[in-house]
Amino acid sequence: MTKTVLVVHAHPDRRSLTHQLATTAKHSLAELGHRVLETDLYAERWKAVFDADDFLAPVDPERLSFISESGHAFATGTQTPDVAAEQAKLLAADAVIFQFPLWWFGFPAVLKGWVDRVFAFGFAYGYRGAGNTYRYGDGALAGKRAMLSVTAGGPAEDFGPRGINGPLEHVLFPITHGTLFFPGMDVLPTFAVYGSGHLDEAGVVAAKRALAGRVAGLFTDAPIPYRRQNTSDYPDRHSLAPEVAPGVTGIPAHIAAR
């Protein structure tokens, strides 16, 4: 069945590995018969900094509360057109692929600014004006899928279970869990290309082939089994029930055994 997939990517050079991999993703999706939407943040000169200019009809022009202004602008259609367009793409998409270089173990600022601005109150948090009722597996983006596709300069071993950087999936937890699963998306394990600064031609070919394989599994691979808020796992919506992963703390406690 034809799906719609949004590819968001963040590198200014069209010959970069990021662009090459974004192109691989787009071509693979098209070959699979899917419809592709695209956000090329550098080409679009995306405004990264969330500020008063984001609110075209502010509730309080004297005092900038991001939560109240974001909620008001979203509810009244007074967001900026670039933000509204990205939200429409997200709502149209069945899945989103993010292709970016890992900078300081996270998003490049332009991609963080896409989240800061697009993930409005009432849309990605505070859904239905119900505080935190809908989050972590439940929300406006529930039923959609997401996958991070990153290039990292360092070697894979630095991101291993006992690697010095911390495990890749734990370092990315604020994004995969805190940003994408939060408004309801099912997040696939991250696709990573390591040693990205030193790839030879064969390495690039192998990376593209591996990504194409992951794109082929976008709607069938098992997502990271993050626990959903609105289950008995979190009876008070704040903390894990004592009988869930007893004695386990930190990030692993929020991932169910498969």
Closest contact distance (angstroms) between CB of 220 and its own copies is 28
Q: Residue 106, interface with its own copies (CB under 8 A)?
A: yes
- 32, 215 in Cβ contact below 8 A? yes
Among 155, 195, 225, 235, binds its own copies (CB under 8 A): 155
Q: Does 154 bind its own copies (CB under 8 A)?
A: yes
Which lies closer to its own copies via its Cβ, residue 31 or residue 60? Answer: 60
The residues in 16-55 that bind its own copies, with binding defined as CB under 8 A, are 16, 42, 46, 48-52
Sign of CA dihedral 174, 180, 184, 186: negative
- Contact yes or no for 50/116 (Cβ under 8 A): yes
- 252-256, long-range: CB < 8 A, 24+ apart: 254/177, 254/226, 254/227, 255/224, 255/225, 255/226, 255/227, 256/225, 256/226, 256/227
As beta bridge partners, residue 147 has: 97
| Site membership for its own copies, residue 250 (CB under 8 A) | yes
Q: What angle do CA 248, 254, 257 make, to 5 degrees?
A: 85
Q: Are 97 and 214 in contact (CB under 8 A)?
A: no
Query: How many residues belong to the site for its own copies (CB under 8 A)?
Result: 68
Residue number, 46 or 191, with CB nearest to its own copies: 46
Is position 179 an interface residue for its own copies (rule: CB under 8 A)?
yes
- Residues that bind its own copies in the complex, under the rule CB under 8 A: 12-13, 15-16, 42, 46, 48-52, 63-67, 101, 103-110, 112-113, 115-116, 119, 132, 136, 153-155, 157-158, 160-167, 170-171, 173-175, 177-179, 182, 197, 229, 234, 237-240, 248-254
